[in-house]
Amino acid sequence: MVKILLVDDDAIALRMLEDYIQEALAEIKSPLPPIQIIQARCEGETDAIEAISKEQPDILFLDYTLMQGTGAEVAKWVDSEYHKPVKVATHTLRFIDDARALFSGTSCVTHFLGISERRKKIEIFLRECLIG
């Protein structure tokens, strides 16, 4: 079972992101393993770290900014403390260059999903994570 964890501070954004992921998974024509998508509404870094620790995801979609802190601080924790291989993408309504700058000190974040091309990039990211 592949666990996909969605971390955001906004319930509507979580639902939209899960919808995008479901659409992207439907577009992937290759056989896929069983997948579980888990939404985690997290107000801050501590909540996000607790959700990651509890759920032990294989794939993580991490919000750029949380009400209390940033996704970058969570990504730094993933880099140093999370000892399971994980693929991480960050999603933002801001410019991608802003996200790249914020996450520049992290190695786990490999994909940046902006609002305009989010659906296609989610499919590309999931294809890389699930198929190779």
Give per-residue pLDDT as tens, 109-121. Answer: 888 887 667 788 9
pTM: 0.91
Domains of the chain plus CATH, in order, are 2-130 (3.40.50.2300)
Comparing CA positions, the residue from 40, 85, 97 lying closest to residue 66 is 40
Give per-residue pLDDT as tens, 41-81. Answer: 999 999 999 999 999 999 999 998 899 988 889 999 999 99
For residue 101, what are the CA distances in angstroms to 45, 72, 73, 95, 104? 18, 10, 13, 10, 5
Instruction: Give me the residues paired with residue 97 across strands.
Output: none
Token pair 């140093």 in the structure block, residue: 80
Q: Is 112 exposed, middle or buried (0-12, 13-18, 19+ CB in 10 A)?
A: buried
